[in-house]
Structure 1
Amino acid sequence: MYRERRCGIAGAVLWTRASPADADTVRVLPDGCLDLIWSSRSGLLVAGPDRRAHLGPDEPGQWWVGLRLPPGVGPAVLGVPADELRDRRVPLADLWGAGPADRVAASAVGAPPRPVGGDPGRWPGSVRPPVDLGRVARALEAVAVDRLHRADGPDPVGLRVAASLATGTSVAATAAEVGLDARALHRRCRRLFGYGPKTLARILRMRRALAMARTGTPLAEVAARAGYADQAHLGRDVRDLAGVPPRVLLGR
């Protein structure tokens, strides 16, 4: 009931999700990203960068379409510093005003329902979405591409910082690489990612470790390769950021 694909913004992902029949809450792990989201119950929303896992209410029959903007790109699209959206879910109209948000909604909703890709007549459990999810996805992508173009693209320093930290490079080495001192790097990171470079590095390391573990790599080896002191350190860090131990996330 979850699908994703790449889109016209480098590093961004378009995703769709249908809440299952037994939906209660959904756990969203922190990733340094901002999302532009359409919900069948709540309309257009912006999900800010989370410092820890976000536990949100989920209801059976709810449909979601989202554009996940990679770390450092969201502020250029949304026109708001990331730290103003940290740990928040905000109606798009609160950021852009009712008129612009209504125009996005009007371009997104209104065609006969069909899924994003695949056979339009074969949704799981014969459940069909209330709108054309492909149209919603294209509208979110189009408005984001347009606003990113008008903003002259994302901050290139932010992209370099995110790429460096994602590979496990230390914060000090990353600062030297982009030519910023510690304070300037921290200010830049708060504006672009919602939090400082140390927090972003922890989050990206956790994501890297979980991706490695999902390939079947033993957790002790994951810990060593991802830069943790040991498996216990990995477990503590994941529990702190995700709210549950690694084995729960991995279904082991």
Structure 2
Amino acid sequence: MYRERASRLLPGAVVWTSTPAGDGQGRVLPDGCMDLLWNEGRLLVAGPDTRAHLTGGAPSTWAGIRFRPGTAPALLGVPAHELRDRRVDLADLWPAARVRRLAARVDAAVDPARGLEELARRRAADTAPPDPLLDHLVAALGAGRPVATIADELGLGARRLHRRSLTAFGYGPKTLARILRLRRALALARAGVPLAETAARAGYADQSHLARDVRQLTGLPLRDLLAARG
């Protein structure tokens, strides 16, 4: 079972828990975000995905905090592109002794998700805030605006915007725009909007374009993906 809520301590973050049933297999879709994870005593980081991440193995309890796009690299002290399409132990990024202390603190919490949230809040308090341009970039891309137009608004050339996007998101702005467009389309389709209208409203050329993009990013045909959601 999966549950999530908005973080009460970190703006834009989402706190979640998951206890998979059956064989523990699942499909995590790209969303432009990075997560700090707890899994039965281990602390890990989920980097930004460019495609669906398939989970498996024995069922176990997970908790996580999903940071809003662009904010995790400053908290973790590592550029996002170094973690692209990866799941790594936090001890690979921070000193192992420190990570053991933090993991013990999360383990001792009544709710591991709350323990993670508090850990992230403390880290954020000691970290410089993320680049303020990032929020504008994410909002504009999320609204389907062209990358070149956004770059001009921000006073950045295409190359500078690409470099800053790699550090913050793990990939360039065009890839981020594609992933955010997918999220818009899935939200519309899950709300019952007909697929042809979903494609038009989300910014695809047509329904075939939507179908190709969904398969490439998620590994499933759109109708299968929507059915799996149920």
Same fold (TM > 0.5): yes
Instruction: Name the aligned partner's letter for residue 163 of structure 2.
Output: R
CA distance in 2 between counterparts of 1:93 and 1:205 reads: 34
Shift of 1:19: 1.1
CA distance in 2 between counterparts of 1:146 and 1:34 reads: 18
Residues 1:102 and 2:100 aligned together: yes
- The residue matched to 1:251 in structure 2 has which SS? helix
Q: TM-score, normalised by structure 2?
A: 0.95
- The residue matched to 1:38 in structure 2 has which SS? strand
Aligned to 1:222: 198
Q: Deviations over 1:28-65 (max 9, x none)?
A: 1011111000012x7111000011111122423x0000
Residues 1:238 and 2:217 aligned together: no
- The residue matched to 1:109 in structure 2 has which SS? helix
Instruction: Name the aligned partner's letter for residue 30 of structure 1.
Output: P
Aligned to 1:5: 5
Aligned to 2:36: 36
Matched length:
227
CA distance in 1 between counterparts of 2:57 and 2:198 reads: 32
CA distance in 2 between counterparts of 1:169 and 1:151 reads: 31
Instruction: Name the aligned partner's letter for residue 85 of structure 2.
Output: D
Residues 1:138 and 2:114 aligned together: yes
Q: What are the ranges of 5 or more consecutive residues in structure 2 without an aligned counterpart?
A: none
Instruction: Name the aligned partner's letter for residue 104 of structure 1.
Output: L
Shift of 1:24: 4.3
RMSD between superposed Cα atoms in Å: 1.3
Q: TM-score, normalised by structure 1?
A: 0.87
Aligned to 1:203: 179
CA distance in 1 between counterparts of 2:144 and 2:57 reads: 34
Counterpart of 1:248 (choices 214, 224, 229) is 224
Instruction: Name the aligned partner's letter for residue 110 of structure 1.
Output: A
Residues 1:45 and 2:48 aligned together: no
Shift of 1:97: 1.4
CA distance in 2 between counterparts of 1:173 and 1:242 reads: 28
Contact 1:6–1:14, Cα closer than 8 Å, also in 2: yes
Aligned to 1:117: none
Q: What are the ranges of 5 or more consecutive residues in structure 1 without an aligned counterpart?
A: 112-131
CA distance in 1 between counterparts of 2:100 and 2:153 reads: 42
Shift of 1:248: 1.2
Residues 1:213 and 2:189 aligned together: yes
CA distance in 2 between counterparts of 1:89 and 1:45 reads: 7
CA distance in 1 between counterparts of 2:43 and 2:64 reads: 10
CA distance in 2 between counterparts of 1:37 and 1:89 reads: 9
Shift of 1:159: 1.8
Contact 1:34–1:48, Cα closer than 8 Å, also in 2: yes
| More divergent stretch after superposition (24-33 vs 187-196) | 24-33
CA distance in 1 between counterparts of 2:42 and 2:67 reads: 18
Aligned to 1:120: none
Shift of 1:23: 2.2
